[in-house]
Amino acid sequence: MFQVTEKALEMINELLKDREEAHTIRFVMTEGGCAGPSLGMALDDQKEDDEMFKENGITFVISKELFELVKPINLDYITTRMGNGFKLSSGLDAESSCGGSCCCS
């Protein structure tokens, strides 16, 4: 399952409006240090083994293998006192816990 909010779509369109080439947004796994792995986003081309989602003219891709590990994916754009930005959550968030050996407490 993949969900993206209207606000996130609006902000992506705003960021990409001056690009002439087609834009595909890829979800990627990042190492994350002591907090564990997390998902990130990058511009990339679609590959043969990708799961693809299209929303309002924007194409999102993720490798099928990675998608099975992290689904569901939810993308939002939020405003907080700390600033504005994309909030990307997934099934990885439910698995993240320090288990007593966390360096982030």
**Residue-by-residue pLDDT tens, the chain, 105 positions:** 999 999 999 999 999 988 877 789 999 998 876 777 889 999 999 999 999 999 998 999 999 999 999 999 999 999 999 999 999 999 887 555 544 444 444
Is position 105 within any domain? Answer: no
Is position 79 within any domain? Answer: yes
Number of domains into which the chain is organized: 1
CATH number at residue 70: 2.60.300.12
Boundaries of domain holding 56: 2-95
Is position 17 within any domain? Answer: yes
Is position 32 within any domain? Answer: yes
Residue 24 tokens read as 């595909």
Query: Could you give the CA distance from residue 99 to residue 72 in angstroms, rounded to a whole number?
Result: 23
Is position 100 within any domain? Answer: no
Is position 85 within any domain? Answer: yes
pTM comes to: 0.82
Is position 86 within any domain? Answer: yes
Query: Could you give the CA distance from residue 58 to residue 9 in angstroms, rounded to a whole number?
Result: 8
